[in-house]
Amino acid sequence: MKEICTKTGDGGMTSLRGGMRVPKDDIRIETNGQIDHLNALLGIVRTKLTADAQHQELLTAIQRELMVVMSHVATPDGDVNPKPLHVAELTATMEQMLNQTEAPARFVIPGSNEVSAFLHLARTQARTAERRLWTLNGTHPVNPDILKFMNRLSDYLFLLSIESDDE
């Protein structure tokens, strides 16, 4: 197993995929930090749901895909990332669920219950990660499917938060 504490980042630099060194405030690192934050929040949401909850499987698949997305974000321009993206399939699944749901006729105030509150927190973090991806896209092109996936993910999390409000 690799060392956890390498001390190579003590000087403010870190590595992209393949070893290229960049400052820790590089937009690719910032973007991945926001996606990682979202992934952690989704982990909290999953712990608040029962093991057999309807959305457990899809949320787990989304978490796995976020790890692949982070790998693609950390791949230097011109390099090929061999990890296949499944964002298009996940986006289609989320869109299918969203198309079966009516938008609420009122503003939604987060906090009706713990699961709903965490889902709203994850939704806002998905929006932050999406904005960072768009910033990144200005200097390092991002696969358009990733951008669409992240946009749809925040919609999906909103849908789940509304469903949780009813429970």
Structure confidence at residue 1 as a pLDDT band (50, 70, 90): low
Q: Does residue 6 lie within any of the structural domains?
A: no
**What's the token pair of residue 71?**
């790998």
Give the closest residue to 22 by CA, choosing from 32, 35, 9: 9
Q: What is the CATH number of the domain that holds 148?
A: 1.20.1200.10
Distance of CA 12 to the CA centre of its chain: 25
Q: Does residue 89 lie within any of the structural domains?
A: yes
By residue range, what is the domain housing residue 141? 13-165
Q: What is the pLDDT of residues 3-33, one digit of tens each?
A: 777 777 778 888 888 888 888 989 999 999 9
Q: Does residue 76 lie within any of the structural domains?
A: yes
Q: What is the pLDDT of residues 123-139, one digit of tens each?
A: 999 999 999 999 999 99
pLDDT, mean of residues 72-99: 93
- Does residue 18 come out as left (phi exceeding 0), alpha (psi in the -120 to 50 range) or beta? left
**pTM for this predicted structure:** 0.91
Q: Does residue 3 lie within any of the structural domains?
A: no
The total number of structural domains in the chain stands at 1
Q: Is the pLDDT of residue 47 over 60?
A: yes
- Average model confidence (pLDDT) across the chain: 91
Structure confidence at residue 88 as a pLDDT band (50, 70, 90): very high
Q: Does residue 122 lie within any of the structural domains?
A: yes
